[in-house]
Structures are given as structure tokens and as C-alpha cells.
Amino acid sequence: MQSTPANNPLRAIPSVDRVLRELGDCPLPKPLVAHIVRETLSQIRRDGGGELPAIMDQIRDALRQTALSRIRPVINGTGIIIHTNFGRSPLAPAAAEALCQIASSYTNLEFDLSTGQRGRRSGYLQAALSLLCNAQGAMVVNNCAAALVLILRHFAAAPPRNKVIISRGELVQIGGGFRVPEILESSGAQLKEIGTTNRTTLDDYRKAMDGDAAMILVVHRSNFFMEGFVESPAIGQIAQLARDAQIPLVHDLGSGALFETTQLGGQEHEPTPAESLAHGASLVTFSGDKLLGGPQAGIIAGQAELVKRLERDPLFRALRCDKLVLAALQATVDLHLGSQKAPILEMMDMNLEHLSARAMGIVQQLPDLPIAIGHCQSQIGGGSLPKTRLPSVCLELQPAGASLEELAQRLRMGEPPVVGRIEDDLLKLDLRTIFPHQDQDLARRLAEVFFA
Ligand SMILES: *Cc1c(COP(=O)(O)O)cnc(C)c1O
């Protein structure tokens, strides 16, 4: 059919100005709104046009998607304490305060207040972290992956000594996009794989120690476990071989537990940095935002001489942390030194009576809604302690007229977003990972989604 002015759907496409007037107030910056409107209108034009109400819906949808992609606080009802998708560890109030203070002021970041000369970045942190890890020296980079890249580039990227000895049982993937062999190779080092997936012996290490061996890397299997016909030598035994060959032994711990993790009831022991160094590792690496409970960072601790060499490596300049991260990490490390608890550790400690009382408090405010109080199990997450489960209390939501997925989506798309997990045909919200100060917001959101 020939299109005439009257039935040409492209004619119904409104102008950008018309759409902006129609939209009214929008929580996004005006130029960004105008840009999204323009882009969406041209897409609609390419698709052949449409009716005004449908066009407006499409534009509102595009704006909502953009608004939702802004980083914002989320109520974490998944029961996963260190959730990488939710930014891992929430900071302690003291760390958040330190962050605010440093953020809006000039600081002595690289200024020595006693001499008035240029000073060392993170001098205090190096001392405090060394004490915490019982190490000669310590330094901080962007994350644990960066710590490994720096170490490998420095100690193992120059032929003829460019081989990194690593057990095949440790060539693993840790979280999204972090594969140990890929990180290793991107640094210019070459792998010298030894042993098998389930068994690597001390003799396998011994046989690999020849002229091209630059270092030994031991990667803690933080996010999975192997059982059965399994063997790997103790760190102390590997350390002896490394000392004899005069090459560094680097132990990538990942989680960086500073406490005895078996007390959480899962019988899983995470080696602490101090323990690994005491057994003879030359350097350990771990994340700032896993069991340490601080901001994203990678900590390297160990022999002073090796740490100094890494600090002088030009690559360190590209991997160093900014003042905000250093301020938050400094406050977090102070908490540990003062035997106080980071929020993730308080969450792990929360007892069932306390959680039940909170659940009751929320449910009583919402008497007519299909919400029950149930039991569930929280997880540590963040690739730490994969076997450990903490008994917990949850709100169990029945979908009432919608599908579970629809209910979950409605909860996610409001303000603040609430994320739960679907299990046993219920949407469960684990109170362990929800801060008590979020209970009121949560009750309001629940009322909102059920009465929508
Ligand atoms: C989590 C983890 C890493 C990566 O740490 P990021 O700080 O996320 O870079 C490396 N190694 C191990 C063993 C880990 O558990």
C-alpha cells in the first residue's frame, strides 16, 4: 500500500521538544535525557514509526533502564555476605567517615609533614598492614589480580628465568573473568604446570626446579573444594624448596582471613597471611574487600626486600590506589588492630534470636500480606569458604497473583532496590545480609510491591 500523509506511521513520531515537554521532570541530567530521547526516536523511525502512547512508553523505558544502571545502595536479601555483584564488603562506618573527610579536603597523601618534603604514599598503611600480617613489609595495589600481575611481571617475565611453577590443581577460575592461567600469561610469564588436577606432590615441585624457574606460585582454592584422592604438599615444604633454589614462593590467599575461620562452623580453615608467611612464603597476596571487609584493594605482604623491589617497579605506578581507597583501607585496618569488627564480620556473628525479632517486627507491620517467617542458610560468598553455611532467618514471600519472577523484578526496580533469592517456590529475603537500619525501607517496599 502506498503510504499517504494520513496513514504514514512515521508522521506520528513526535519532535524531541514535544517528548521532553510530555515527560516532565526526570531524575537524570537534562542533556542525557535529551540524548536518550533522540536516540530512541531515531530507532523508532528506523523501525517504521508507531503510535504516540507506545512511543512514549518506549522512551520512558529507555530512561528507566539508564536510571537503573546508576550505582546506588541496594538491599541485599540474598544471604550472600560478600557478594561481588553488590560491591563485596560494605565499609564500616569509621571507614565511610574517613572516606568522606579525605574526599573533600587536601591531604598529606604524598607529603611528609615533619620535613615538609615529598613523602611516601601509604606509609602508615604499610606499617599497620605489616603488623596485621606479621610481615616485614606490605604494600597496596588496585586489587588482588593487580597484585599478581605486578609480582609476575617483576619476578617472572624476563627470560631465561620466566617460568612460574604452579600446580595443575590451582589453574582455576576465580569469579567472573579471573582465570589464573590467563592472568599469568598476560603478565609475560610462562607456566610450568606440574602435577595433576587432584594430586601434586613435593617431588613434582622438586623436579620442576631448574634454571628457568623464576618463582613458585601457590593459589589458595578459595571458591571450591576438592575431596577424595587429593594431595598437595604443605606450604612449609614448598617454601624449603624455594629457599634452596633462591626463588620466591608467592602464596595467593585471595580472601585474606585474619581470624580462625573454622569458628564459623563450616570446618573450613582459611590460611591467614601471618600463618602463610610463618610457614615460609616469601610474599602473600589477598583482597581488601573480601574477609578483610574493606574497599577494593590488593595487599602484598612479606619479605621487605621483595616488597621494596615491587614498589620500585614502574608498573606499580599504574596499579596504585587513590586517596579514597587508602583512607577507607586505613580505617578498616585500624578496626582490625583495635579488635573491632568490620560489618561483614558482625553479619556473620548475628544470632538467630536477633534475626527472628527483626523478622517479626517487619511482618507485624504488614499483617495482610502473604509473608511468612522461615529459616534459610546464609553463605560467605566472594569466593570465600564455599562449604560454610550460617543458619539464618528469612522473610518468605508468596507471589499472590503474579509470578515469582515478576515479584522479584518489582522488588528490584523500586527505590531502594531489594534483591532476594528464589527457592522452594518462594522469594526469600535473608535478614542476615540486610542491615537493621534498612528494615523500615524494606517494610515500605514490601507494602509497595504487594499493593501495586
Ligand atoms: C578473589 C581472588 C582473587 C582476585 O581478587 P580481586 O581482588 O578480585 O582481584 C585472586 N586470587 C584468589 C585466590 C581469590 O580468591
| Residue 449 CA to ligand 1 centre (angstroms) | 37
| Residue 253 CA to ligand 1 centre (angstroms) | 8
Closest ligand 1 atom to Cα of 255: 15
Ligand 1 proximity of 332 Cβ (cutoff 6 Å): no
Q: Report whether pLDDT(265) > 90.
A: no
Ligand 1 proximity of 259 Cβ (cutoff 6 Å): no
DSSP string, 233-264: --HHHHHHHHHHHT--EEEEEES---S-GGGG
Ligand 1 proximity of 381 Cβ (cutoff 6 Å): no
Q: Write the pLDDT tens digit of every residue in 12-46.
A: 789 999 999 999 888 899 999 999 999 999 999 99
C-alpha–C-alpha distance, residues 258 and 270, integer Å: 9
Angle at which helices 52-68 and 16-23 cross, to 10°: 70
Range 72-99 average pLDDT: 97
Nearest CA to ligand 1 atom 6: 144
The reported pLDDT for the residue numbered 452 is: 64
Ligand 1 proximity of 59 Cβ (cutoff 6 Å): no
Nearest-CA neighbor of 81 among 359, 383, 442, 372? Answer: 383
Question: Strand, coil or helix: what is 144?
Answer: helix
| Average pLDDT over all residues of the chain | 93
Q: Give the end-to-end CA distance of the chain in Å, rounded to a whole number.
A: 43
| Residue 173 CA to ligand 1 centre (angstroms) | 10
Q: Report whether the peptide linkage leading into residue 386 is cis, meaning its omega lies within 30 degrees of zero.
A: no
Closest ligand 1 atom to Cα of 222: 15
| Residue 174 CA to ligand 1 centre (angstroms) | 7
C-alpha–C-alpha distance, residues 164 and 156, integer Å: 7
Ligand 1 proximity of 174 Cβ (cutoff 6 Å): yes
Ligand 1 proximity of 75 Cβ (cutoff 6 Å): no
pTM: 0.93
Ligand 1 proximity of 251 Cβ (cutoff 6 Å): no
Closest ligand 1 atom to Cα of 223: 15
C-alpha–C-alpha distance, residues 415 and 212, integer Å: 57
Ligand 1 proximity of 145 Cβ (cutoff 6 Å): yes
Q: Write the pLDDT tens digit of every residue in 143-169.
A: 999 999 999 999 998 888 999 999 999
C-alpha–C-alpha distance, residues 423 and 82, integer Å: 20
Q: Which of 72-76, 267-271, 325-329 has the lowest mean pLDDT?
A: 267-271
Q: What is the DSSP letter of 120?
A: -
Q: Report whether pLDDT(302) > 60.
A: yes
Closest ligand 1 atom to Cα of 219: 13
C-alpha–C-alpha distance, residues 375 and 424, integer Å: 12
| Residue 285 CA to ligand 1 centre (angstroms) | 9
Ligand 1 proximity of 298 Cβ (cutoff 6 Å): yes
Nearest-CA neighbor of 401 among 359, 369, 444? Answer: 369
Binning pLDDT at 50, 70 and 90, where does residue 383 land?
A: confident
Ligand 1 proximity of 142 Cβ (cutoff 6 Å): no
C-alpha–C-alpha distance, residues 96 and 335, integer Å: 12
Q: Which of 124-133, 332-341, 350-359, 395-404 has the lowest mean pLDDT?
A: 395-404
Percent of the chain with pLDDT over 90: 80
Binning pLDDT at 50, 70 and 90, where does residue 4 land?
A: low
